[in-house]
Amino acid sequence: MIELRDIKKGFGDKEILKGVSATMESGKVNLIIGSSGSGKTVMMKCIVGLMTVNSGTILYNDQDFTAMDEHEKKAIRQEIGMLFQGSALFDSMTVEQNVMFPLDMFGKGSYKEKKKRVMECLDRVNLKDAAKRFPAEISGGMKKRVGIARAIVLNPKYLFCDEPNSGLDPQTSLLIDKLIKELTLEYTITTVINTHDMNTVMESGDHIIYMYQGVKQWEGSNEEIIFSKDEKLNDFIFASEFLRDAKEMRQMEMFRDKNWRERLPGDKPGK
Amino acid sequence: MEFRFFYHFGAYLLMLKGMFSKPENPKMYWKQLMQQSVDIGIGSLGIVFIISLFMGGVTTLQTAYQLVSPIIPKATIAQIVRDTIILEFAPTLTSIVLAGVVGSKIASELGNMRISEQIDALEIMGINTRGYLVMPKILGALLTIPCLVVIAGFLGIWGGKMAGEMAGIISNDEFIQGLRQELKIYNIFFALSKSYTFAFIISSVSAYYGYNVQGGALEIGKASTTAVVVSCVLILFSDYALSAILL
């Protein structure tokens, strides 16, 4: 579990995160959504330690990440897997070498054992056949899948994905979402996804944090989003006529469901 | 990149300080060092070979053109060529060319890794990127550039001998006789001192500009150019400083 307590981050006079508190639970897909410039990328970079917060606390399973020294942070980072927006694969290495890299750097065991683990991960993302190819020779969706394989090769406790669907067609996007969701449940990982993709929000987001101008505007599940009365959230999520219609249809479907009627959600306003 | 001397100097020193930490896996660091040594050393052999030969040839022809007095023995030409190449041309000219070849490669490689988030990916894995990416480049340059300078010295003198013979200025025997006259071993020590200093400047300055690129593809090009320009200026400045101190 990851817990954020009143984190603030700014660059010069400009305040980007204005005191955000949130909890990201393990075994769940936690989404950070928001329009461009709302602070979600900065928030993710602060959580993984690529940026330091100005104030506030970030807890990884009750361990204060912000108070750790470099050595302790390294230990936590080895439990983190991250999928970058542009995949961030090493150009000079093959797909297999890319996935093998974290094992070579930190993993123990023989080459045979490492290779077996790499093949397991590549098989899990359906890319066993592309093992000998270079990143320049594979498609964007395949690169994302290699990125996922590299992120999970050391069995991480935390998986971070920065815009995993950007630049992908809807079908591949769904495939990536499904894969991330399955891995989250399979390994009971705390998954945090930074996304704009409404499919991800509605299909795989267990817990959603909506950021607006550096503040947590709304927090809840993807089912609760349908009934949310938060104007800013509705404007952001259901921006088009088509999406508004889809929302109404979903609402009607959920009203018909007796179980849902009994636990009608209410808004959980942000801090 | 705007010119803010103290900001850049401070950040450069911090980058160098940040390189020193316990390697996560010494084997991987060793592999990286060997890879960089091959890239810098073997990768630059061709250009060093070409410039050294012509540098020696031109030095012989121009020295002979200026030494017209019949009182001065022809072997003096070889002596002047030898000392000019050892003292100045082999270390400085080679390093300036290497600043362009190796420096731009280091800056653009690290810049590309920064822009495409590969450096962030390594950081997230818990790897000290300064130690893993920058240090092997500096050590690789310190290992190979002095060797390239020595090769450049030999090839330059050989090129000078060939040019002298082909132009009918000085015979092989006279040239070799000149090479043997009053050779100061200290000059070789001086040339090597310069080559180590220049190797450090080329690799560390280029790594600094590449490692700290911000923006996109355009900025990688800018960082690469800045790295080469700053390296060349620092090479010339330290060339003067070392000459003033050591000679």
Condensed to tens digits (0 to 9), the pLDDT of residues B153-163 reads 999 999 999 99
User: What pLDDT score was predicted for residue A270?
Assistant: 45
Q: Which residues contact A261 (CB under 8 A, 6 or more apart)?
A: A255
Question: Of A155, A170, A185, which residue constitutes the final position of a domain?
Answer: A155
Q: What is the CATH number of the domain that holds A30?
A: 3.40.50.300
A163 and A73 in one domain?
yes
**pLDDT at residue B184 tops 50:** yes
Q: Are A189 and A26 in contact (CB under 8 A)?
A: yes
The whole-number average pLDDT for the span A239-263 is 68
Q: Radius of gyration (Cα) for chain A, nearest Å? A: 19
> How far is B114 from chain A, CA to nearest CA, in Å?
10
- Higher-pLDDT residue of A241 and A35 is A35
Q: Are A24 and A75 in contact (CB under 8 A)?
A: no
CB spacing of B120 vs A80 below 8 angstroms: no
User: What pLDDT score was predicted for residue A260?
Assistant: 60
User: What pLDDT score was predicted for residue A36?
Assistant: 84
Residues of B in contact with A85 (CB under 8 A): 117
**pLDDT at residue B114 tops 70:** yes
* CA distances (Å), origin B136, targets A14, A42, B41, B98, B228: 38, 31, 13, 17, 19
A143 and A174 in one domain?
no
* A221 in reach of chain B (CB within 8 A): no
Q: Are A202 and A222 in contact (CB under 8 A)?
A: yes
A75 and A11 in one domain?
yes
The whole-number average pLDDT for the span A202-226 is 85
Chain centroid to Cα B205, Å, comes to 12
A166 and A127 in one domain?
no
CB spacing of A86 vs B120 below 8 angstroms: no
CB spacing of A75 vs B118 below 8 angstroms: no
**Residue A125 domain boundaries:** 88-155
Question: Of A155, A183, A201, which residue constitutes the final position of a domain?
Answer: A155
Residue A262 forms part of a structural domain: no
Closest residue by Cα to residue B200 from B245, B145, B239: B145
Question: Per residue in B29-88, pLDDT tens?
Answer: 999 999 999 999 999 999 999 999 999 999 999 999 998 788 888 889 999 999 999 999
- Higher-pLDDT residue of A7 and A224 is A7
Calculate the average pLDDT of chain A.
86
Confidence of residue A268 (pLDDT cuts 50, 70, 90): very low
A69 and A112 in one domain?
no
CB spacing of B118 vs A74 below 8 angstroms: no
ipTM reported for the complex, 2 dp? 0.84
Interface of A with B in 9-48 (CB under 8 A): 48
Residue A271 forms part of a structural domain: no
Q: Are A194 and A30 in contact (CB under 8 A)?
A: no
Residues of B in contact with A86 (CB under 8 A): 116-117
CB spacing of B120 vs A88 below 8 angstroms: yes
Closest CB to A105: pick one of B28, B112, B124. Answer: B28
User: What pLDDT score was predicted for residue A269?
Assistant: 46
Q: At A53, phi and psi to the nearest 5? A: -80, 150
Residue A120 forms part of a structural domain: yes
User: What pLDDT score was predicted for residue A259?
Assistant: 65
Residue A151 forms part of a structural domain: yes
* A85 in reach of chain B (CB within 8 A): yes
Structure token digits, residue B164: 């002298």
Residue A58 forms part of a structural domain: yes
Confidence of residue B212 (pLDDT cuts 50, 70, 90): very high
Residue A253 forms part of a structural domain: no
- Best of B105, B110, B113, B116 to substitute, by most chain A Cβ atoms within 10 angstroms, is B116
Number of domains chain A is built from: 2
pTM for this one?
0.86
The whole-number average pLDDT for the span B137-142 is 96
A203 and A135 in one domain?
no
DSSP of chain B, one letter per residue? ----HHHHHHHHHHHHHHT-S--S-HHHHHHHHHHHHIIIIIHHHHHHHHHHHHHHHHHHHHHHHH---TTS-THHHHHHHHHHIIIIIIIIIHHHHHIIIIIHHHHHHHHHHHHTTHHHHHHHTT--HIIIIIHHHHHHHHHHHHHHHHHHHHHHHHHHHHHHHHTTSS-HHHHHHHHHTT--HHHHHHHHHHHHHHHHHHHHHHHHHHHT--SSHHHHHHHHHHHHHHHHHHHHHHHHHHHHHH-
Q: Where are the domains of chain B?
A: 24-246
